[in-house]
């Protein structure tokens, strides 16, 4: 998608236009979700230094929560730690 080095505005707009959920360790997206609302929805990973595989395990562990969040028409933000 060519967004590896994109700024937050570009990522936000792309996710909004494509109907995607942003998953990030960056608190900027958390703050942006409060200011701008949704879409897109934001999942904030609240972990310190961790590996990609640890994040994958966290997401797998919370798969049912993620599905509920994705389908909730009023939920804009989910925090996982």
State the pTM of this model: 0.87
3 domain-assigned: no
Q: How confident is the model at residue 2 (pLDDT cuts 50, 70, 90)?
A: confident
2 domain-assigned: no
Beta-bridge partners for 24: 44
Using alpha carbons only, give the angle 12, 34, 25 rounded to the nearest 5 degrees: 60
Domain that holds residue 25: 8-80
1 domain-assigned: no
Total domains, the chain: 1
pLDDT tens-digit readout, 13-62: 999 999 999 999 988 898 898 898 889 999 999 988 999 999 999 999 99
Over the range 6-30, which residues count as b (16 or more CB within 10 Å of their CB) and which as e? eeeeebbebbeeeeeebbeeeeebb
| pLDDT attached to residue 66 | 96
52 domain-assigned: yes
């Amino acid at each position: 998608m060519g967004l590896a080095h994109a700024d937050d505005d570009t990522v936000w707009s792309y996710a909004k236009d494509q109907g995607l959920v942003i998953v990030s360790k960056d608190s900027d997206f958390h703050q942006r979700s409060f200011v701008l609302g949704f879409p897109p929805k934001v999942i904030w990973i609240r972990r310190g230094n961790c590996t990609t595989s640890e994040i994958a395990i966290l997401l797998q562990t919370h798969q049912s929560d993620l599905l509920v969040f994705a389908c909730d028409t009023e939920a804009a933000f989910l925090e996982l730690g």
